[in-house]
Structure formats: structure tokens, C-alpha cells
Amino acid sequence: MQARHNLVSTGAACLSAITGLTGFIPAALAQGFQPGLSHAAKDQIGMMQPASTMAQDMVAFHDNLLLPIVTVISLFVLGLLIYVIFRFNERANPTPSRTTHHTGLEVAWTVIPLLILVVIAIPSFRLLTKQVALPETDMTVKVTGKQWYWTYTYPKDQNGGFEFDSNLLDQTKLAAGKLKLLDVDNEAVVPVGKAIRLQITADAVGVIHSFVITALGVRMDAVPGRLNEVWFKAEKEGIYYGQCSKLCGKDHAYMPIAFRVVSEQAYAAWLADAKKKFASASSDVTVADAAATIRQ
Ligand SMILES: [Cu+2]
């Protein structure tokens, strides 16, 4: 009896811990654990603030569908475990049932998870299609992952014709306001409210990287010898950071991504400056049509 009493009190302690935890999360949010816009904030809980419609859709998919499903399933399994511990322990249930098959139960535990997966798959595939099926885009930037930095090429036929390397700042003499392991010497600049196509690849003699800007909903592998495409349309001006997200080698952690989204006038001004600044690294790259390459 004493043992049973201990079990009950342990169960009660567990439940109160869970209730305490669920109470803690909204309280923590109210205390200002706000998600960052350009990069993850300290003590942030939840996804980063989306700055593109794609990222908004991804966050909504996570917050409104995945998280509730995962929470319900976790609580259901926890409830089942607690029930089994009390109802079917040796003392409460000395003569166990010899049942080995129950058709109804087996159908249920196959069909219900299947239905849950279908419910997840439909919006998931819709989102994936939106990400990889490119709409009419306004401009293109070519991104090349190298060991270990990024090169951005602004194609010649799009008023560019230059390229530049984007390297991590010297971490030993970081200026005030600059972010550790995120700020770079040369940011890529794009105009706000325009659909930007990114053509992403990696150095031919290099390794695979992954180009990610969370707030813009961009994630695509950079593979040597392969031209991947993805797009985004930034809704707000600002600087958006990302990091290489594929373990690519010794300096994987030191090749951040920084995209500055500016007004159209500011972009035109930057473009004129950049053409002079990066004139030594002029590039003849023009926009490739990946879809046409696949068709051939
Ligand atoms: Cu990398």
C-alpha cells in the first residue's frame, strides 16, 4: 500500500511539474522572450519573426498545425503511460490478459497515424511547391558556397556584372553593434518587395554547403556542379542573417550569410557603388535558366 501511495504521489508530482511547465512558457513569453527579426534573440522561444510570405506560411504551418498535433500526441502518450503504470502494475493486475491480437485496435493504430500524416502532408507539399516552383521573379542573385565564405554574383544582364566575396568580420576587433559570428564585410543587397531568385551552387572543387536565411524562409543546398533555385520576397527592409546549415568542414561555423533589404532607390545607389567597388572582380555571368536546362 505504501508503495502504491508513493507511486501516486510521484504521478501527482509529475503532473504538477507538467502543469507548472505549461504555465511557465506563456509567462516567459509575456516577460519579453520575443523572437528576433533579423537573427535569433537571446532566450527566444519559438520561431523567428517571418519577413517574407514564405516564412510566414512556414511559421503558420509549424504554430497552427505541427505544434498542436505534437502536443496532443505527447500528452496522449504520457496519459497512456501513466494509466498503464497504475492500472497494469503487478499489484493492481496480478493475472495479466493473454490477448495477443485485437483486430479493431490494430486497424485503429494503423489508420489513425496514417490520417494524421495525410493531414500534415497536404499543407506540407503545398508549401514545398510554393518554395521550389518559382514565380516570375524580378531579379536574380547567384550564390556560390566556398571554403569557407560565400560569393555573390549580380548577373551582367540584370544591370550587375560584378561579384564579391562575403567574409566573416575579424572577431578580435568587432566594432560596436556588430554581431559576433553573423556580421560580414560585404553584405548582399536586394530591394524590398521584389521577388528575388537565388541561384545557389558551390565551388566546383569544394564541398556541399546549405544556404539558409530563416526570416526570409530560404533554405537550399549549395552543391558543386549543380545549380539550385529558390526565391523570396522580403516584405520589410532590414538586415537578415543566416548561417551555412550543412556540416561542410573546419570553418562551417564561420561563414555567415547577411542579406540587406533596402528601398528601390537605396538599391539603385548601392548597385552604382558596387559596380565601381567590385570592378576588379567583374563577372560575365548571366542568368541561367535552370528549368530550361532540365528540359533539354
Ligand atoms: Cu558551409
Using CA atoms, how far apart are residues 118 and 125, in angstroms rounded to an integer? 10
Q: Do 225 and 204 meet the contact criterion of CB atoms below 8 Å apart?
A: yes
What does the pLDDT read at residue 16?
Answer: 41
pTM: 0.77
* Residues ≥6 apart with Cβ < 8 Å to 247: none
Q: How far is the CA of 222 from the centre of ligand 1 (A)?
A: 8
- Fold observed for domain 139-295: Immunoglobulin-like (2.60.40)
Q: How far is Cα 259 from Cα 184, in angstroms, rounded to an integer?
A: 10
Continuous segment of H or E residues that includes residue 93:
none
Neighbouring C-beta atoms of residue 28, cutoff 10 Å: 12
Question: pLDDT in tens for each of the 296 residues of the chain?
Answer: 344 444 334 444 444 444 444 444 444 444 444 556 778 877 888 888 899 999 999 999 999 999 999 999 999 999 999 999 999 999 999 998 888 888 999 999 999 999 999 999 999 999 999 988 999 999 999 999 999 999 999 998 888 889 999 999 999 888 888 888 999 999 999 999 999 999 999 998 999 999 999 999 999 999 999 999 999 999 999 999 999 999 999 999 999 999 999 999 999 999 999 999 998 766 677 776 555 555 44
Cα 146 to ligand 1 centre (Å): 7
pLDDT of res. 288? 64
Task: Give me the amino acid identity at 132.
Answer: V
How far, in Å, from the CA of 215 to the mean position of ligand 1?
A: 19
3-class SS at 41?
coil
Distance 180 CA to ligand 1 centre (A): 17
C-alpha of residue 277 to centroid of ligand 1, in Å: 26
CA of 246 to the centre of ligand 1 (A): 6
Q: What is the pLDDT of residue 176?
A: 85
Backbone angles phi, psi at 77, to 5 degrees: -65, -40
Name the residue ranges covered by the structural domains of the chain.
Answer: 2-96, 139-295
pLDDT of residue 124: 96
Query: What residues contact residue 211 under an 8 Å CB cut-off, 6+ apart?
Result: 143, 145, 150, 198, 200, 218, 219, 220, 221, 222, 230, 242, 244, 245, 257
229 CA → ligand 1 middle, Å: 17
Check residue 120 and give its pLDDT.
96
> What CA–CA distance (Å, rounded) separates 44 from 116?
29
What pLDDT is attached to residue 67? Answer: 94
294 CA distance to ligand 1 middle (Å): 26
